[in-house]
């Protein structure tokens, strides 16, 4: 049997299978009618473009791979790809093909679209069943956790962008849970129901709605479409306890090409129903918990009661507490209307409406209302009710009834307090803050809080994170956080000082105090507190601390002993130097002692004197005494003290104590040395003078002896006599010097004018002999008070010097000038004599220093003058020019103020004698 | 001129005592010149006067004392203190003249503050001075 070409042609045309021949150029060469029948294109259309252009883009690569295999000689069996139809849809084709050596393709295809879709549908159904199973298996507890993932999965399954579970109340459409690819929707977000497609469901009382392409539907004018341009929507009502709770819906901004089918709608319906069931279970759980709680509360507070009404019998049951609240005898029969009449006339309509609505719609009510009791007392009550259903039918209602009068009053009080608090906050210098939920970041800050930090409200957010990370000084963060966490548990005191960054002034110190609210586990749930600017305080504290430190250092390191005593002599504090002085090692040791324990008894009298001074002048000393050291030895000290008034109102005594052992020793040594020197001087002069006196005495016998005649002997006697005179003079000088040091100042009235005249008289022979001109300028109002001996020494030496060193060339003039100026006496002695050369001026007052050798001088005169001036606490100066003369200026005190003139005791001092 | 029975010299300086003895002898106003070298010896002499026998003779009671200030054992001022406390019958009325080489006015002041001291004289003593004493106190 053989087939003709025509026969093939017939088969080709008649075959329900799609048959084709394609060339190596990628174009169809020949197609059978099944092609145009299946795909809707004409043969011409199909052959005008390379066949790859009709293949679904996702399938092009696999198709090319398959052609590659064919070109290598493999046979294609059941290769599947999608071909574009003229209506825009794709059809799944299953191909078989044979290659020919020249590259031409002979291929046959079967339309497997419906099989393919069924298979996909099957897979999807499987998925749906899985989701539904998952939802149905959800417990009330975990539903909230799982819902987001389920919404996402189902949205993807339905090729929708958005999945929402909404809660609908009146015109509010609240997001209960949502899936949005860009997270643009969040829980509790509220929309106007009218702006959602779910509005259509509610308005038309439909269970579900599915629209694949909104633009082409009758709802294309819906506000939701206008607002959100959502092209596809599928949604279903969720009912809880028979009432509309909200919706489960999915939507997308693209039309759903595949178009929603029955299965999709059923899926959404079943899901919504299950979600409703779960919500119901959940609510029941919560109700159970709540009623248990209420029962507990009722037991606890005692003023909550229960009521129940049977709508069929109109019987109203009140618990004892409800009777008590109404002040109606327990057990009295009450009908519903009577019950309602107990409410305040203003509130009666509210309860009536609520009860009516509750019975009609099965809604629950929870109201706070004013009640007038049977006894006419007004009180606030909380009335809560819900219907009782039996087989879906409302058979009654029941609820709780609570006396909340105190609560309301407390609330009112609270409101009032809050108002007061607000006022207080506004008036306070402290900034106030409230971290009302410590699990969140938000805080509330008062205007003053902002002001203290230099900000205005709104410039920075009142957040804990802002406080911690922006305002708080980095070094203070850990301490502040520690202080917060230390408030957990028992401790509730939060009081820290930290630095906050002021807007303009940099970091400043603030004190932050807070009240802490804690849950039953002791965890902080809320903190409310204040801040105050303590920068100035801190600064002064710091300054105080600095000066305290400086003072401490001085106190501790002072070589001077310092002691703080109570007025009774007990020690409070002493420094190290003080301890060293009295030989103790610690303050504790000395604290057991009193000041009197370390004071030798013989100083009691002196101490009493000092105590008098403390009481009258607030200070004492300086005075010298001795302390007992710990080892029993005595130590000489110099004391000085002052009474200080302390802020606690007490007076205390600060004393400085100086160990004067060394000073005493050197004083004693000096005294000994001076004494020795004095003695040496006196003894020396005496021991030298005595034999000289004897020589002088015996010389007289020799001089009277007429037997001595030789010239040499007579000359010898003369020179012996001269030497004796010289020695005597020297001895006299020594004595005068020693005397000058020791002469006691004895203040008495002195007629200075007479003194000068006496002095001049004693020098009269020299004055007359040398024709010396004396000019006296004396202006004195009265006698002066000074020491005669010293004044004598001054006048005698200066006047005799002026005469001694007179001019040889011209008439010697000696000017004596006395002036009185208040308490000062000026004595000026001038001459026109030989003067003192410059380098000698400073030497003239030194002992045994003579400025001039041409004249006979001892070199002690001016030394004695200087000593006398010093003893009288005066000063002396010299002005002199060589060859022109000298002026000695003496300034002495006129001791007029001294009333008591000391008279020296007649001393029996053998050492002062010869 | 009246002749004094006894002059007591009190001085540790032997040369001084000898010179004073020469002067007194030259003036011829005294029969007996007794020498002691410090206050202690002098007190002994005075308290035991009349008891000491030398060549069978009692030491006579002095009419005049020439007293030095600076002496070992007991100086002039100490002697005066002790002398002051002696019973009157022993002291009698002795003229005491202080002789000194001291140049200090204080010493003179101090010396004259004793009632027992009649005069104060800087050494050396002269015949003229002794004559003056004699005419002032013993004429």
φ/ψ (deg, to 5) at A271: -60, -45
Q: For residue A850, what pLDDT band results from cuts at 50, 70 and 90?
A: low
Give the closest-approach CA distance of B102 to chain A in angstroms: 4
Q: For residue A902, what pLDDT band results from cuts at 50, 70 and 90?
A: very low
Is the confidence at residue A914, as pLDDT, over 50? no
The burial of A232, by beta-carbon neighbours within 10 Å (0-12 exposed, 13-18 middle, 19 or more buried), is given as buried
Is the confidence at residue A766, as pLDDT, over 80? yes
Q: Which CATH architecture has domain A743-893?
A: 2-Layer Sandwich (3.30)
Q: For residue A141, what pLDDT band results from cuts at 50, 70 and 90?
A: low
Question: What is the model's pLDDT at position A467?
Answer: 92
Q: Average of pLDDT values for A585-597? A: 81
B89 touches chain A (CB under 8 A): no
**What's the full length of chain B, in residues?**
139
Which residue ranges make up each domain of chain A? Answer: 5-111, 119-284, 302-409, 428-540, 561-659, 666-735, 743-893
pLDDT tens digits, residue range A228-250? 888 999 999 998 888 889 999 99
B100 touches chain A (CB under 8 A): yes
Is the confidence at residue A143, as pLDDT, over 50? yes
Does residue A379 contact residue A371 with C-beta atoms inside 8 Å?
A: yes
A3 touches chain B (CB under 8 A): no
* Residue A470 CB neighbours (<10 A): 12
Is the confidence at residue A472, as pLDDT, over 90? yes
Q: For residue A907, what pLDDT band results from cuts at 50, 70 and 90?
A: very low
Least confident among A143-147, A430-434, A512-516, A790-794: A143-147
Question: What is the model's pLDDT at position B36?
Answer: 92
- What contacts A407, CB < 8 A, 6 or more positions away? A380
- Which of A690, A734, A741 best probes binding to B when mutated, by most B CB atoms within 10 angstroms? A690
The radius of gyration of chain B's CA atoms, rounded to the nearest angstrom, is 14
Question: What is the model's pLDDT at position A905?
Answer: 42
Which residues pair with residue A642 across a beta bridge? Answer: A619, A654
B34 touches chain A (CB under 8 A): no
Residue of A nearest to B72 (CA): A910
Using the beta-carbon criterion (under 8 Å), do A690 and B13 form an inter-chain contact? yes
Residue of A nearest to B102 (CA): A914
Helix, strand or coil, per DSSP, at residue A529: strand
pLDDT tens digits, residue range A554-564? 778 888 888 88
Q: Pick A421 or A327 by higher pLDDT.
A: A327
- The β-bridge relationship of strands B64-68 and B4-10 is parallel
A561-659 classified as CATH 3.30.450.20: yes
Chain B CB contacts of A693 under 8 Å are 16, 101, 123-124
Rounded Cα gap, residues A324 and A308, in angstroms: 16
pLDDT tens digits, residue range A480-516? 988 888 887 777 778 888 999 999 989 999 988 888 8
Question: What is the model's pLDDT at position A913?
Answer: 31
Interface size A-B, in CB pairs within 8 Å, comes to: 69
Is the confidence at residue A290, as pLDDT, over 60? no
Rounded Cα gap, residues A750 and A743, in angstroms: 17
Mean pLDDT, chain A, rounded, equals 82
Q: Average of pLDDT values for B96-104? A: 83
Which residues pair with residue A886 across a beta bridge? Answer: A880
Is the confidence at residue A460, as pLDDT, over 80? yes
Using the beta-carbon criterion (under 8 Å), do A686 and B106 form an inter-chain contact? no
> How many CA atoms are closer than 13 Å to the CA of A350, on its beta-carbon side?
16
Q: For residue B97, what pLDDT band results from cuts at 50, 70 and 90?
A: very high
Is the confidence at residue B44, as pLDDT, over 60? yes
Q: What separation in angstroms does the CA of A904 have from each of A743, A744, B105, B118?
A: 10, 7, 15, 24
A704 touches chain B (CB under 8 A): no
Task: Assign domain A5-111 to its CATH superfamily.
Answer: PAS domain (3.30.450.20)
Chain B CB contacts of A744 under 8 Å are none
Rounded Cα gap, residues A157 and A145, in angstroms: 20
Q: For residue A888, what pLDDT band results from cuts at 50, 70 and 90?
A: very high
Rounded Cα gap, residues A95 and A77, in angstroms: 6
Question: What is the model's pLDDT at position A285?
Answer: 66
Q: For residue A351, what pLDDT band results from cuts at 50, 70 and 90?
A: confident
Least confident among A77-91, A888-902, B92-106: A888-902
B17 touches chain A (CB under 8 A): no
Question: What is the model's pLDDT at position A910?
Answer: 35
* Helix axes B76-84 and B105-112, enclosed angle (nearest 10): 10
Q: Average of pLDDT values for A671-700? A: 82
Q: Average of pLDDT values for B13-19? A: 87
Residue B18's closest CA among B3, B35, B40? B35
Question: What is the model's pLDDT at position A912?
Answer: 33
Using the beta-carbon criterion (under 8 Å), do B110 and A906 form an inter-chain contact? yes
Partner residue facing A914 (CB), from B16, B101, B113: B101
Question: What is the model's pLDDT at position A909?
Answer: 38
Q: Which CATH architecture has domain A119-284?
A: 2-Layer Sandwich (3.30)
Using the beta-carbon criterion (under 8 Å), do A914 and B113 form an inter-chain contact? no
Which residue ranges make up each domain of chain B? Answer: 22-29+57-100+114-129
Q: Average of pLDDT values for A687-701? A: 86
Is the confidence at residue A720, as pLDDT, over 70? yes
Chain B CB contacts of A906 under 8 Å are 109-110, 113
Q: What do you get for the CA distance between the two ends of chain A, in Å?
A: 189
* Residue A282 CB neighbours (<10 A): 17
Using the beta-carbon criterion (under 8 Å), do B16 and A690 form an inter-chain contact? yes
Using the beta-carbon criterion (under 8 Å), do B124 and A908 form an inter-chain contact? no
Find the farthest-apart pair of alpha carbons in chain B and give their distance in angstroms, rounded: 45
Helix, strand, coil percent content, chain A, rounded in steps of 5: 45, 30, 30
Tell me which DSSP letter residue A470 carries.
I
Using the beta-carbon criterion (under 8 Å), do A912 and B106 form an inter-chain contact? yes
Chain A CB contacts of B109 under 8 Å are 906
Task: Assign domain A302-409 to its CATH superfamily.
Answer: PAS domain (3.30.450.20)
Establish whether domains A119-284 and A743-893 are of one fold.
no
Using the beta-carbon criterion (under 8 Å), do A914 and B106 form an inter-chain contact? no
Does residue A43 contact residue A60 with C-beta atoms inside 8 Å?
A: no
Using the beta-carbon criterion (under 8 Å), do A912 and B100 form an inter-chain contact? no
Chain A CB contacts of B17 under 8 Å are none
Least confident among A126-135, A583-592, A778-787: A126-135
pLDDT over 70 for what percent of chain A? Answer: 89
pLDDT tens digits, residue range A853-885? 566 666 778 888 888 898 888 999 998 888 888
Q: Which of residues 895-914 of A touch B (CB under 8 A)?
A: 906-908, 910, 912-914
Q: Pick A61 or A413 by higher pLDDT.
A: A61
Q: For residue A901, what pLDDT band results from cuts at 50, 70 and 90?
A: very low
Q: Average of pLDDT values for A431-435? A: 84
Q: Is the dihedral of CA B111, B112, B115, B120 positive or negative?
A: positive
Question: What is the model's pLDDT at position A38?
Answer: 86
Q: For residue A830, what pLDDT band results from cuts at 50, 70 and 90?
A: very high
Q: Average of pLDDT values for A723-735? A: 83
Q: Which CATH architecture has domain B22-29+57-100+114-129?
A: 3-Layer(aba) Sandwich (3.40)
B70 touches chain A (CB under 8 A): yes
Residue of A nearest to B122 (CA): A693
pLDDT tens digits, residue range A314-341? 777 887 778 888 888 877 888 878 888 8
- Right CATH number for A428-540 from 3.20.19.10, 3.90.1150.10, 3.40.50.720, 3.30.450.20? 3.30.450.20
- What contacts A469, CB < 8 A, 6 or more positions away? none
Which residues pair with residue A513 across a beta bridge? Answer: A495, A530
Does residue A61 contact residue A79 with C-beta atoms inside 8 Å?
A: no
Using the beta-carbon criterion (under 8 Å), do A686 and B101 form an inter-chain contact? yes
Q: Per the confidence metrics, is the pTM higher than 0.80?
A: no
A694 touches chain B (CB under 8 A): yes
């Amino acid at each position: 049997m053989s087939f003709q070409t025509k026969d093939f042609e017939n088969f080709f045309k008649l075959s329900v299978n799609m048959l084709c021949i394609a060339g190596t150029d990628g174009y169809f060469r020949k197609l059978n009618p099944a092609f145009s029948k299946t795909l809707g294109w004409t043969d011409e259309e199909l052959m005008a473009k390379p066949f790859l252009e009709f293949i679904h883009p996702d399938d092009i690569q696999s198709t090319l791979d398959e052609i590659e295999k064919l070109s290598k000689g493999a046979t294609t069996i059941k290769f599947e790809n999608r071909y574009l139809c003229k209506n825009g849809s794709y059809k799944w084709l299953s191909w078989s093909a044979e290659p020919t050596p020249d590259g031409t393709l002979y291929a046959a295809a079967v339309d497997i679209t419906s099989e393919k879709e069924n298979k996909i549908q099957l897979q999807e159904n499987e998925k749906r069943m899985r989701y539904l199973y998952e939802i149905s298996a959800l417990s009330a507890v975990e539903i909230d956790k799982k819902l987001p993932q389920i919404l996402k999965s189902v949205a993807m399954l339905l090729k929708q962008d958005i999945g929402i579970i909404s809660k609908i109340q009146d015109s509010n459409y609240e997001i209960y849970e949502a899936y949005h690819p860009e997270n643009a929707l969040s829980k509790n977000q509220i929309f106007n129901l009218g702006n959602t497609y779910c509005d259509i469901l509610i308005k038309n009382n439909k269970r579900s709605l599915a629209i694949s392409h909104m633009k082409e539907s009758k709802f294309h004018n819906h506000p939701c479409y206008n607002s959100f341009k959502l092209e596809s929507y599928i949604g279903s009502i969720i009912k809880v306890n028979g009432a509309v709770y909200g919706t489960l819906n999915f939507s997308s901004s693209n039309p759903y090409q595949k178009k929603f089918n029955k299965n999709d709608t059923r899926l959404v319906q079943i899901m919504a129903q299950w979600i409703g069931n779960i919500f119901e279970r959940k609510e029941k759980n919560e109700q159970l918990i709540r009623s248990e709680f209420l029962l507990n509360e009722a037991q606890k507070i005692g003023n909550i009661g229960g009521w129940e009404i049977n709508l069929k019998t109109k019987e109203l049951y009140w618990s004892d507490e409800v009777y008590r609240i109404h002040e109606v005898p327990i057990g009295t029969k009450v009908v519903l209307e009577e019950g309602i009449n107990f409410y305040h006339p203003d509130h009666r309509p509210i309860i009536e409406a609520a009860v009516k609505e509750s019975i009609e719609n099965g809604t629950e009510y929870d109201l706070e209302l004013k009640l007038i009791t049977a006894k006419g007392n007004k009180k606030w009550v909380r009335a809560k009710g819900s219907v009782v259903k039996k087989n879906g039918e409302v058979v009654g209602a029941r609820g709780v009834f609570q006396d909340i009068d105190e609560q309301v009053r407390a609330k009112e009080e609270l409101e009032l307090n809050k108002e007061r608090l607000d006022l207080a906050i506004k008036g306070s210098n402290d900034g106030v803050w409230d971290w009302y939920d410590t699990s969140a970041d938000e805080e509330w800050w008062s205007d003053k809080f902002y002001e203290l930090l230099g900000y205005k409200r709104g410039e920075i957010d009142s957040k804990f994170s802002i406080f911690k990370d922006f305002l708080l000084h980095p070094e203070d963060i850990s301490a502040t956080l520690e202080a917060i966490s230390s408030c957990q548990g028992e401790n509730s005191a939060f009081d820290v000082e930290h630095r906050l960054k002021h807007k303009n002034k940099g970091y400043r110190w603030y004190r932050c105090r807070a009240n802490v609210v804690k849950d039953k586990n002791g965890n902080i749930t809320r903190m409310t507190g204040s801040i105050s600017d303590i920068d100035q305080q801190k600064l002064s504290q710091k300054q105080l601390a600095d000066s305290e430190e400086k003072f401490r250092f001085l106190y501790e390191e002072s070589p001077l002993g310092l002691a703080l005593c109570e007025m009774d002599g007990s020690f409070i504090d002493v420094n190290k130097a003080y301890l060293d002085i009295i030989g103790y090692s610690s303050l504790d040791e000395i604290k057991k002692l009193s000041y009197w324990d370390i004071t030798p008894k013989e100083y009691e009298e002196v101490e009493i004197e000092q105590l008098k001074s403390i009481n009258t002048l607030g200070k004492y000393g300086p005075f010298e005494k001795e302390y007992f050291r710990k080892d029993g030895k005595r130590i000489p000290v110099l004391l000085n003290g002052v009474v200080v008034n302390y802020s606690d109102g007490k007076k205390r005594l600060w004393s400085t104590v100086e160990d004067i052992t060394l000073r005493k020793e050197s004083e004693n040594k000096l005294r000994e040395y001076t004494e020795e020197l004095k003695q040496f001087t006196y003894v020396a002069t005496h021991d030298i003078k005595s034999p000289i006196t004897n020589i002088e005495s015996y010389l007289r016998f020799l001089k009277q002896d007429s037997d001595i005649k030789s010239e040499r002997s007579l000359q010898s006697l003369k020179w012996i006599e001269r030497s004796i005179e010289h020695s005597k003079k020297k001895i006299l000088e020594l004595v005068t010097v020693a005397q000058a040091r020791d002469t006691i100042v004895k203040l008495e009235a002195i007629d200075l004018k007479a003194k000068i005249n006496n002095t001049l008289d004693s020098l009269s022979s020299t004055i007359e002999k040398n024709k010396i001109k004396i000019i006296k300028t004396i202006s004195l109002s009265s006698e002066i008070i000074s020491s005669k001996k010293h004044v004598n020494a001054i006048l005698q030496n200066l006047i005799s010097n002026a005469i001694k060193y007179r001019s040889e060339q011209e008439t010697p003039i000696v000017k004596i000038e006395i002036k009185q100026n208040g308490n000062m006496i000026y004595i000026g002695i001038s001459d026109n004599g030989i003067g003192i050369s410059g380098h000698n001026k400073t030497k003239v007052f030194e002992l045994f220093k003579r400025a001039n050798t041409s004249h006979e001088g001892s070199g002690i005169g001016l030394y004695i003058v200087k000593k006398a001036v010093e003893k009288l606490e005066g000063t002396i100066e010299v002005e002199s020019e060589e060859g022109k003369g000298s002026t000695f200026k003496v300034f002495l005190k006129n001791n007029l103020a001294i009333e008591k003139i000391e008279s020296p005791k007649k001393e029996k001092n053998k050492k002062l004698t010869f | 001129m009246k002749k004094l029975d006894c002059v007591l010299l009190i001085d540790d300086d032997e040369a001084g005592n000898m010179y004073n003895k020469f002067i007194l002898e030259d003036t011829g106003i005294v029969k007996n010149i007794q020498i002691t070298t410090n206050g202690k010896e002098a007190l002994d002499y005075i308290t035991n006067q009349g008891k000491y026998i030398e060549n069978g003779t009692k030491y006579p009671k002095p009419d005049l004392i020439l007293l030095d200030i600076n002496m070992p054992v007991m100086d002039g001022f100490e002697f005066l203190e002790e002398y002051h406390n002696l019973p009157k019958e022993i002291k009698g009325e002795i003229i005491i003249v202080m002789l000194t080489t001291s140049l200090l006015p204080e010493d003179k002041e101090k010396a004259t503050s004793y009632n027992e001291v009649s005069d104060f004289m800087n050494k050396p003593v002269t015949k003229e001075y002794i004559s003056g004493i004699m005419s002032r106190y013993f004429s």
